[in-house]
Chain A
Amino acid sequence: MTLDDILAGLFPTGSKIETTGAIIAGQAVLPDGRPIHVLGITQGQPLGVDEAILLAGHVIEIVKSGDRAPILFLVDSASQRMSKRDELLGLSEYLSHLAKTLLLAEAEGHRTVGLLYGGSAAGAFIATALATGTLVALPGAHPAVMDLPSMGRVTKLPIDVLKAKAEATPVFAPGLDNMTQTGGIHAIWDADAPLAPRLAAVMQRPKGQDDRDRLGAKRGGRRKAAEIADRVVALAATSYQGAQHG
């Protein structure tokens, strides 16, 4: 589906959304009449310092407006921009800053929903889609940490061997199903069903704690993470009580 198809499907009553370069920004109206902010990165472009600061600026303006309207963040990107200039200027701060603004928006009462409809990878994925409160995806989306050929170079394993290993576990290989099984993606939408009701249903989902590790355990893609994290929380509580009496 093209971005235009997706926007038309999500907002049949109309939207005012502009794409400038790789950046999507605008507003739309939900079927129930409520406004929703729409942001995103498109055309499979990399996320560098210039794009990240623009997107973060939009999020901050939304939070400052105090309207508490939800934010839909559309993602079809490459990875972070790999360049000397971006790193020289401190890319990590720009990506973190964007992620923090999205986390801030959710905490300040704006529901944040990520919609992965194309690619995304590595730092760009963390700073956008994975920083939203609920991440959903359309079939055909293709998240990755690193593509298999690059992974082959780093791990010094032939691509055939990597492919065979990827059959056995969802934990390392790129792809939508693997990212869903490990809990990173809340749901994959059916492309043939109308999109607007699906979005409305996600908006109904109560705002809650980070449950991605629990999802990963339930789906069998990340069996240990939730249990380990819970155990650390429990141990910290025990040792704190011990220290008080010690």
Chain B
Amino acid sequence: MTAVTANTVSLSWYEASARQRIDALVDAGSFTEFIGPELREMSPHLAIFDLPEQFDDGVVIGRGRLDGAPVLIAAQEGRFMGGAFGEVHGAKLTGLLRAARAQHQDVLILFDTGGVRLQEANAGELAIAEIMRAVVEARRDGLSVVGLIGGRAGCYGGGSLIGGTCSRLIVSEQGRISVSGPEVIETNRGIEEFDSRDRALVWRTMGGKHRFLIGGADMFVDDEALAFRKAAIDALKVGRRCDVTVLEAEQTRLERRLQRFGEAEDAVEIWQALGVDNPTDVPALPTSAFLRAADNRENADDAR
């Protein structure tokens, strides 16, 4: 039997590449990649736009061990095309989720994405739909699909919809979750609706702290690979079903959110309504103080 060894080197999740994240997340030396860059399975579509391809199309997939348990893993590379879903990128994820059912193994998805890659938008959009269906089917077979969100590109567009199908979401302060990005809202609705250059507004509307407080994420961690690893180990131990009981509980939870916060103009109002002391201080709080302040947060246990 091999001893379980974790990587203990300090690493910012936000700054790290997809491959660095995987190496730091799983048990040391346990990762095996599927369709690695040496096979050069690149996008067949980017050349139409005279754009450079990447040998792994911006996503690394494979299997490894987490605290000794076998898991399937996907990590998006936010530094290539904003981690966006193209045909090959999406199909690698779809295949991994289908493999999860066949092998009966849990899945970790390390999101870092702006959403659908516009240069192959139809293929990307369909990949999102295929991945969501595969996630739900895996969960209905009793498997966990855990999302980890804290990368540079955040988790936007179709990525955020896949996130919503996961059994658990782990998020850091840097992890933004949103369907429409700040620039998209501003372009479509005007700067009065959303000023995309107001970074504080972006973080408190879409950032990890807000998502954790309203129950949009289940675990809040420091921007540290080791913190993500510990949380992922814990996340695999709980709630994974996706049946009518869970979705009815989610219905109640999301209806309640609209009733409680539907009139709020700003995240700070929501935090105040949640009973957070000094809600305007939330963005500045270090993790331990934030977790204490988040004591009365909404949670999504058995309701996601």
Contact = CB atoms under 8 A, between A and B. Distances in A.
A208 to B, nearest CB: 12
A171 B87 contact: yes
Where chain A touches its partner, the secondary structure class is helix
A63 B87 CA distance: 33
B184 interface: yes
B60 to A, nearest CB: 12
Nearest to B42: A224
Contact of B118 (A95, A172, A228, A232): A172
Where chain B touches its partner, the secondary structure class is helix
Interface stretch (B10-18, B158-166, B228-236): B158-166
11 contacts: A64-B248, A84-B193, A85-B262, A87-B179, A93-B254, A95-B161, A96-B164, A165-B48, A172-B120, A183-B126, A229-B98
Contacts of B171: none
B264 interface: yes
A225 B91 contact: yes
A45 to B, nearest CB: 15
A91 B178 contact: yes
Interface string A104-119: 1001100000000000
B163 A92 contact: yes
Interface residues of A, number: 83
A168 B197 CA distance: 37
A89 to B, nearest CB: 6
Given A90-B214, A126-B129, 14 more contacts: A53-B255, A87-B185, A88-B210, A89-B214, A90-B211, A91-B178, A100-B136, A130-B129, A155-B49, A210-B134, A221-B123, A225-B87, A229-B95, A232-B94
A184 interface: yes
A122 interface: yes
A57 B210 CA distance: 25
Contacts of B187: 150, 153
Contacts of A100: 132, 136, 164-165, 242, 247, 250
Given A228-B88, A232-B61, A104 B243 contact: yes
Contact of B98 (A83, A232, A240): A232
A144 B87 CA distance: 16
Contacts of A231: 34-35, 95
Contact of A145 (B92, B122, B205, B247): B122
B40 interface: no
